[in-house]
Structures are given as C-alpha cells and as structure tokens.
Chain A
C-alpha cells in the first residue's frame, strides 16, 4: 500500500540555520511527489513538486528512489518559514496520499 511518513512532528531551528524536513514513501511504481505548506490561518498550498526540480522560497527537495525519500531542505531558515509542511504522493490510482505533517518552528 502507498504510504508517506514524516518522522518529526515538530522541528525547531534557529533563524539562519539549515533545515531538513524528512519524508519517506512506499510506492510500487514511479512516484510523483509534492511538498505542501500551510502557514498560520491560511489554506494548504503547493510549495514544490519533484518533477519541476525547482527551488521555491529557497527550499529544494530531491527524489531519492534508492532511499525512497523526498526530504525538503533549506540552507538558511527564516522566521517566515514557520508553518506546517506536508509531503504528498500522487498515486496514479488517482488519489493523493499525504504524510502526517511536520511543524517547523524557526526561532529568532
């Protein structure tokens, strides 16, 4: 069965420190993976997707098929990065599987 795990419920870092939010998945085919973010009192929104290999707000994520991981990284965290982050996998059975989320808290 498809599954997405995010081992950390809460991650606290100081402003300017590097941050890595972990995501592992289980899927029998070629996955399409996304990171979604929810800022305080805002709706869930796309941050980035693995296929586009883009950097959004300084965040990047690389799909590692060998380790079945899609960790989200940023070299220098900012206070405005504080939010809930969800890793999601698109199952071509046509539904999305979301991880439980990691709350990132960037301290001043």
Chain B
C-alpha cells in the first residue's frame, strides 16, 4: 500500500522484556517521526529523522528508548527492559520533508500505530 505501515499492530510484553517496533514510511518521504500516545492523551513527540540522521531525540523518555533509521527508509523504535508505564500506542508519521517555505511538505501522514501493553 501507499500509506505508512507499522508492525506489529499489537504487542504484549512482560515487564523487563525488550521490544522492537517497526515503521515503513511512505516511499520518498524524507522526514520520519515517532510519537507516544497514552490513553486519553494527544500524541507526544519522541524523535525525528531526516533521512538516516536523527535530528531530534529530545522526547525519548529514558535511555531505554532507542530509535534508528539506518538506510533512511524503515525505522525501528526499540524499548529495552519494558516497564508498565511504557504501555501506550506508538505512532509513526512521515512527511516529504520539513520545509519552512512550503507548508504542504510538512503534512504528516500517520500509521495505524502499535499498541504496546506491558504486563
């Protein structure tokens, strides 16, 4: 399909387990974002890539969270030693590229998300 694809859709992990969440952005999209959305809240920014470069990781809540996009396309968000407070929906979004001069390039297209439940 042509949209942003995330896998798995659902993940149940035992506390202390490591998890890896995958995002396939829209082909040709340079910018890729990860968000965490807790129940009843809006998406909270985690990190941002432009191609393979991670330009902003200020939203990652702890050093247990790690994201990569080694070839500038698919991205993986890894959470080590999961804890119950990590339970949330993790959203991935891509855009053509962030451009102060062209708003259309800033439109983000979202995946369906991965719902992570840590028991």
The chain A residues found within 8 Å of chain B, CB to CB, are: 4, 6, 9, 32, 34, 36, 43-46, 49, 51-52, 86, 90, 92-101
User: CB distance B55 to A94 under 8 Å?
Assistant: yes
Which bracket fits the contact residues of B? 20 to 34
Contact check: which of A32, A34, A86 meets B42 at CB < 8 Å?
A86
The chain B residues found within 8 Å of chain A, CB to CB, are: 3, 33, 35, 40-45, 48, 50, 55-56, 58-59, 91, 93, 98, 100, 103-104, 106-113
User: Smallest distance from the beta carbon of B50 to chain A beta carbons, Å?
Assistant: 8
Chain B CB count within 10 A is highest, among A32, A90, A96, for: A96
Q: For the complex, what is the distance from the CA of A90 to the CA of B48, rounded to whole Å?
A: 13
Query: Taking A94-B98, A95-B33 as contacts, is the C-beta distance between A86 and B56 under 8 angstroms?
Result: no
From A51, which residue of chain B is reached at the shortest CB distance? B103
User: Smallest distance from the beta carbon of A16 to chain B beta carbons, Å?
Assistant: 29
User: CB distance A43 to B113 under 8 Å?
Assistant: yes
User: CB distance B56 to A43 under 8 Å?
Assistant: no
User: CB distance B41 to A101 under 8 Å?
Assistant: yes
User: CB distance A90 to B43 under 8 Å?
Assistant: no
User: CB distance A95 to B59 under 8 Å?
Assistant: yes
User: CB distance A95 to B42 under 8 Å?
Assistant: no
Q: For the complex, what is the distance from the CA of A96 to the CA of B91, rounded to whole Å?
A: 13
Query: Taking A49-B107, A95-B48, A95-B59 as contacts, is the C-beta distance between A100 and B33 under 8 angstroms?
Result: no
User: Smallest distance from the beta carbon of B26 to chain A beta carbons, Å?
Assistant: 13
User: CB distance A97 to B45 under 8 Å?
Assistant: yes
